[in-house]
Amino acid sequence: MMRLKSAGLGLGLMACGLIGCGSESVQGADRVVLTGSSTIAPLVQAAAEAYEGAHPGVRIDVQTGGSSRGINDATKGLNDIGMTSRSLKPDEEPGLNQHVVALDGIAFVVHADNPVTGLTKQQARDIFTGAITNWNQVGGADAAIVVVNRPEGRSELGLVSDYFGLTSADMKADVVGGENQQAVKLVAGNPRAVVYLSVGTAAYESAAGTPIRLLALDGVPATAQEVARGNYPLGRPLVLVTGADTSGVTQSFLDELMSSGLDSLIAEQGFVAPPR
């Protein structure tokens, strides 16, 4: 089940090529461009549609491309707000402000028909480095594991490799899944596959009937509740990034995104509202 409405996403993807990026007037409308994390994009897209409905003179373009794109675009002034599924690194912080819009985690996800219900950190590490290659080595069926990794530029790759104490080059893959939706489809279509992706995204898709299962990690269920309690081992913030000076309609929309009025939408998307 797609979480981004195709029409809204299409407008966002075309925007830079057709009319340039950044806050500007477009056919009499104020325009705000957000780029980056595909994990955050559905939440922001839903908020943007509500905001545009209340502000007919505003157009908000939500574009994906990964957390690195969101940060790089914010650094270069190519967007108004960057979306990143991790905190800024020290060398990325100068000149940028970060705003935690929600809390999430990274789950290891398999097909719903896979009998495995959980992995230890070491088992997950061994799977993604090629030391474990068959599901029967972790309590599953006698079937080869199809490892779906994430590409460079995605926050999940960096966070999971750091969690394992590895470099991204140490991570092995049979298939690479880019956007969250592509990663979900790869696992939903293959009972032997495993991938790691957003807890919120995976939980949302599972609840909508997509045949996937989130695995417990070191005995802790991959749920929003455990993320909120601080118990889940692979928790992370979802962050909006802006330049030093934010004003006008960009600041107004940012204020909406950071308000408690977004909390119900955050919960609907499978995430956790940050402390307010």
SS3 (DSSP) at 242: strand
Query: 86 and 11 in one domain?
Result: yes
Domain assignment present for 193:
yes
Backbone angles phi, psi at 107, to 5 degrees: -110, 150
Q: 158 versus 214: which is more confidently predicted?
A: 214
Residue 11, pLDDT > 60, answer no
Q: Give the model's pLDDT for residue 153.
A: 76
Query: 171 and 67 in one domain?
Result: no
Residue 270, pLDDT > 50, answer yes
% of the chain beyond a pLDDT of 90: 79
Domain assignment present for 259:
yes
Q: Give the model's pLDDT for residue 245.
A: 84
Those residues with Cβ within 8 angstroms of residue 212's Cβ, 6 or more apart along the chain or in another chain: 109, 110, 111, 112, 184, 187, 188, 202, 205, 206
Domain assignment present for 261:
yes
If one counts every other C-beta atom within 10 angstroms of the C-beta of residue 218, the result is 15
CATH at residue 207: 3.40.190.10
Q: Cα 92 to chain center, whole Å?
A: 19
Average pLDDT, the chain: 88
Q: Is 121 left (phi over 0), alpha (psi -120 to 50) or beta?
A: alpha
> Are 215 and 107 within 8 A, CB to CB?
yes
Give the tokens for residue 256. 């909406």
Query: 169 and 199 in one domain?
Result: yes
Query: 217 and 125 in one domain?
Result: yes
State the Cα–Cα distance between residues 107 and 109, nearest whole angstrom: 6
Query: 109 and 87 in one domain?
Result: no
Q: Give the model's pLDDT for residue 177.
A: 86
Q: What is the pLDDT of residues 28-56, one digit of tens each?
A: 459 999 999 999 999 999 999 999 999 99
Query: 95 and 109 in one domain?
Result: no
Query: 143 and 89 in one domain?
Result: no
Residue 23, pLDDT > 80, answer no
Domain assignment present for 42:
yes
Q: How confident is the model at residue 19 (pLDDT cuts 50, 70, 90)?
A: very low
Residue 79, pLDDT > 90, answer yes
Domain assignment present for 83:
yes
Q: Show the domain range for 168.
A: 104-229
Domain assignment present for 208:
yes
Q: 168 versus 71: which is more confidently predicted?
A: 71
Domain count, the chain: 2
Residue 7, pLDDT > 90, answer no
Query: 124 and 206 in one domain?
Result: yes
**Dihedral angle of Cα 59, 272, 239, 4, to the nearest 10 degrees:** -40
List the Cα angle 228/231/234 in 5-degree steps: 90
Average pLDDT (265-269) is 94
Query: 223 and 110 in one domain?
Result: yes
Query: 185 and 71 in one domain?
Result: no
Q: How confident is the model at residue 3 (pLDDT cuts 50, 70, 90)?
A: very low
State the Cα–Cα distance between residues 231 and 222, nearest whole angstrom: 10
> Are 44 and 246 within 8 A, CB to CB?
no
Query: 95 and 133 in one domain?
Result: no
- The residues that bridge with 196 in the sheet, in sequence order, are 108
Q: What is the pLDDT of residues 85-122, one digit of tens each?
A: 999 999 998 999 999 999 999 999 999 999 999 999 99
Those residues with Cβ within 8 angstroms of residue 40's Cβ, 6 or more apart along the chain or in another chain: 83, 84, 85, 101, 102, 238, 240
Domain assignment present for 1:
no
Query: pTM, whole model, 2 decimals?
Result: 0.83
Which pairs from 176-183 meet CB under 8 Å and 24+ separation?
A: 176/148, 176/149, 176/150, 176/151, 177/148, 177/149, 177/150, 178/150, 178/151, 178/154, 179/38, 179/64, 180/38, 180/39, 181/2, 181/3, 181/4, 181/38, 183/109, 183/148, 183/150
Domain assignment present for 130:
yes
Average pLDDT (7-11) is 32
Q: 28 versus 124: which is more confidently predicted?
A: 124
Q: What is the pLDDT of residues 127-157, one digit of tens each?
A: 999 999 999 999 999 999 999 999 887 889 9
SS3 (DSSP) at 82: strand
Query: 154 and 109 in one domain?
Result: yes
